[in-house]
């Protein structure tokens, strides 16, 4: 028997979470810079300028730290869906699930999740894909071809 090979591969769409992390980090960083600028441009006492500088530096450092830690967490997660000749492999947050074509009943997308209906129950795969319909359609077509015993790709052997 030939080893399985990948027919299609989809990585988790992380654009929306990245925008959230970077938006918050940029806002905090900008607030810190503005606090320092305003405090030095206005005629304030030396104690007020020092307090504003401390607050501004703290905001700037926190904004940068949020960006670094948030992006590290998002980029560390290698989540994907791989449609293979022997079934579907789901990988998310370090856990992998394999569903053979014979055990997969249906795939649907609802509430920002792919839901794989199989004999063991439902397995949800969180994703914010803007257009999930082609992915769901392609996996369901492969599932039907496998159930009918038709070849899944151009490779025959």
Give the CATH number of domain 6-12+79-148; options: 3.40.50.10420, 2.30.29.30, 1.20.1530.20, 3.40.50.1100. 2.30.29.30
- Sequential DSSP letters for 42-110: S---HHHHHHHHHHHHHHHHHHHHHHHHHHHHHHH---EEEEESSEEEEEETTEEEEEEGGGEEEEEEE
- List the chain domain ranges: 6-12+79-148, 15-76
pLDDT in tens, 129-152: 888 999 999 999 999 999 888 888
pLDDT recorded at residue 32? 93
What pLDDT sits at residue 155?
Answer: 52
Residue whose structure tokens are 């401390």 = 54
Q: Record the pTM.
A: 0.70
Confidence of residue 79 (pLDDT cuts 50, 70, 90): confident
Among the listed residues 96, 91, 104, the one whose alpha carbon sits nearest the alpha carbon of residue 142: 104
Q: pLDDT tens-digit profile of 24-47?
A: 999 999 999 999 888 888 888 889
């Amino acid at each position: 028997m030939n080893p399985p090979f990948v027919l299609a591969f989809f990585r988790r769409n992380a654009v929306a979470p990245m925008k959230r992390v970077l938006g918050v980090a940029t806002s905090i960083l900008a607030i810190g810079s503005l606090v320092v600028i305003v405090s030095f441009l206005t005629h304030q006492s030396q104690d007020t300028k020092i307090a504003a500088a401390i607050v501004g530096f703290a905001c700037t450092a926190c904004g940068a730290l949020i960006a670094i830690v948030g992006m590290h967490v998002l980029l560390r997660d290698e989540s994907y869906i791989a449609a293979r000749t022997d079934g579907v492999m789901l990988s998310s947050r370090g856990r992998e699930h394999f569903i053979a074509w014979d055990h997969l009943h249906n795939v649907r997308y609802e509430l920002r999740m792919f839901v794989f209906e199989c004999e063991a129950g439902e397995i949800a795969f969180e994703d914010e894909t803007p257009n999930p319909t082609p992915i769901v359609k392609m996996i369901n077509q492969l599932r039907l071809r496998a159930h009918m015993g038709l070849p899944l790709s151009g490779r025959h052997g």
